[in-house]
């Protein structure tokens, strides 16, 4: 009788532990957790799932940011990564873009600083996502239509506040890696050409109907 009771108790405790561990949460996370030149990110997305790794996939943010950026998942370019497993050294994945990123973490592993350097001799305008992997979550921060001046280095701060266990304020995970994704923003002249082309197509269609 005691053996059965003990087995049932252990089983119940195990089930409760699994359910609790599988219930991560956003905590106090928001777009303001990542800043650049004292300006907060435009949008934040949190995707739960330890199997998602931003260095390999845009699954943590592409669909969430599409309504803002209009950028499809396949159009985001992995510009670089910083990983604890690589001693926090920036790994440049897109050498031709002349953009260099850095990220440093505080001793806690839950916050730090980061920077972008534009080595071009012209201003660069692009959409940027910092997609962090920490614990059982991927937290991504969008900077929409970001401009970095020619030869300029800009800096900011980052903070992780999501939780491995939603009900435990002490379960904020430490940084594992971050992926920097970029997407080009069309120049105003490109938009003008696009609108002009659409207007011409509409005119031709009306002429054919007439």
Percentage above 70 pLDDT, the chain: 78
Which tokens belong to 104?
A: 């440093």
- Condensed to tens digits (0 to 9), the pLDDT of residues 135-149 reads 989 999 999 999 999
Quickly list DSSP for 75-125: G-EEEEEEEGGGTT-EEES-GGG-EEEEEEE-TTSSEEEEEEEE-SSS-EE
- Condensed to tens digits (0 to 9), the pLDDT of residues 66-118 reads 999 999 999 999 999 999 999 999 999 998 999 999 999 999 999 999 999 99
Q: d(Cα 127, Cα 145) in Å, to the nearest integer?
A: 5
pLDDT of residue 52: 86
Q: What is the mean pLDDT of residues 174-198?
A: 71
Q: Which one, of 23, 67, 57, lies nearest residue 164 by Cα?
A: 23
Cα end-to-end span (Å), the chain: 90
Which tokens belong to 200?
A: 């011409």
pLDDT of residue 210: 58
pLDDT band (50, 70, 90) for residue 186: confident
pLDDT band (50, 70, 90) for residue 204: low
Q: What is the mean pLDDT of residues 187-195?
A: 44
- The pair phi, psi for residue 54, each rounded to 5°, is -65, -20
- Condensed to tens digits (0 to 9), the pLDDT of residues 5-45 reads 444 333 433 334 444 445 889 999 999 999 999 999 999 99
Helix (H) or strand (E) holding 8: helix 2-21
């Amino acid at each position: 009788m005691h053996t059965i009771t003990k087995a049932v108790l252990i089983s119940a405790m195990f089930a409760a532990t699994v359910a609790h561990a599988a219930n991560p949460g956003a905590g106090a996370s928001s777009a303001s957790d990542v800043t650049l030149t004292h300006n907060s990110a435009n949008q934040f997305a949190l995707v739960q799932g330890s199997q998602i790794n931003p260095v390999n996939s845009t699954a943590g943010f592409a669909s969430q940011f599409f309504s803002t950026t209009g950028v499809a998942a396949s159009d985001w370019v992995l510009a670089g990564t910083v990983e604890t497993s690589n001693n926090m050294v920036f790994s440049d994945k897109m050498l031709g873009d002349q953009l260099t990123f850095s990220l440093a973490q505080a001793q806690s592993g839950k916050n730090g600083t980061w920077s972008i350097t534009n080595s071009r001799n012209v201003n660069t305008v692009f959409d940027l996502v910092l997609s962090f992997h920490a614990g059982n979550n991927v937290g991504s921060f969008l900077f929409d239509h970001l401009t970095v001046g020619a030869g300029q280095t800009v800096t900011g701060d980052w903070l992780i506040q999501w939780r491995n266990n939603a009900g435990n304020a002490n379960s904020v995970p430490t940084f594992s890696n971050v992926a920097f994704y970029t997407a080009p923003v069309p120049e105003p002249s490109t938009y003008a050409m696009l609108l002009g082309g659409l207007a011409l197509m509409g005119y031709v269609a009306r002429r054919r109907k007439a």
